[in-house]
Amino acid sequence: MSRIYYTKPSITELEVRYATDAAANGWGDQCYQYIQRFEKAFEKHLDVKHAIATSSCTGALHMGMAALGIGPGDEVIMADTNWIATASPIVNLGAKPVFVDILPDSWCIDPTKAEAAITPRTKAIVAVHLYGNLCDMDALLAIGERHGIPIIEDAAEAIGSEYHGKLAGSMGRFGAFSFHGTKTLTTGEGGMFVTSDSELYEHVLALSNHGRMRGQTKQFWPDMVGFKYKMSNIQAAIGCAQMERIHDLIARKRQIFETYRQQISSIPGIRMNPEPEGTINGAWMPTIVFEPETGITWEILQAAFAKENADARVFFWPLSGLSMFEPVHENVHSWSIPVSAINLPSYHDITESELDRICNVIRRVAGKKHG
């Protein structure tokens, strides 16, 4: 029985050809050719003014937060349900992540809880579009406007997600994307910083290149202490090929999500990624949550998937449950949902028979509990 992986990239001859060209010819005065091409393609796709290719989404967040002046003594509000990559730049800048609860349906930050957590030390709110689900951006942007606080979009998992005509990552002060090998669009490792704020862009551009301003004429003369978060030309070449296929890559993810939704929606006691009116879920990671009364846990699900030789990825644990942070038990949804949730396999080349195998596992587990 073949193994069903939870995710892997879609790589074709086009990516191989571009990467080979970059490896053979992308040096000297051509060393930024694919990087600049990738950035321009991403700006056009997202309809933003500026994009900077980075070594990771974490690096994009780190530089963007640094450019906003976030530092020691400051607070940044974010959802408790997230991967640590969203919190680590905050900590590394000497600031404090303030964890608030998620909404029970979208699993994204609760705007009401976010606003209630604002203090004089709050410097930003991070909106993470979890698993391709969309944050309530209208509410968050209104909060930011009322309090003079920038809204940062962590769109690492939200390529293809759309909120009332605007793509995820294009609405906040800046957005950050991931191109890790698990993502809908990949460069192996890598990320992208995006913004339509030209002043912020110039600051982050300098930070990304050891603090050298674009207009600096002195050779090896940094204007500030910066970072080294640049993407390689070879990685960007793969990204350029993926951008030429971006609509097909997103469409395939959506197709897999729809197949799951059609097959699973009739099983009692299950919720999946939501898609409220006016939104499009990019469907990076189809996820199921069993209602507590079913008694079905992630351990039961993982064991059942293992018998089918299939991957099943656990839902993100609450960050405040990790040893390096103080627990915030009042974040009840962040703490309770992971107990009975699982991410489903969704790589681009998954077959219909493999999707059937996954759905049959879910039916068997649900049937045992209801039998």
Residues identified as active-site = 183
Tell me the two tokens of residue 357: 């195998």
Q: Which amino acid is at 361?
A: V
Those residues with Cβ within 8 angstroms of residue 166's Cβ, 6 or more apart along the chain or in another chain: 47, 137
Cα 264 vs. chain centroid, distance in angstroms? 25
Those residues with Cβ within 8 angstroms of residue 48's Cβ, 6 or more apart along the chain or in another chain: 169, 170, 175, 194, 195, 196
Rg, Å, the chain Cα set: 21
Tell me the two tokens of residue 87: 């919190």
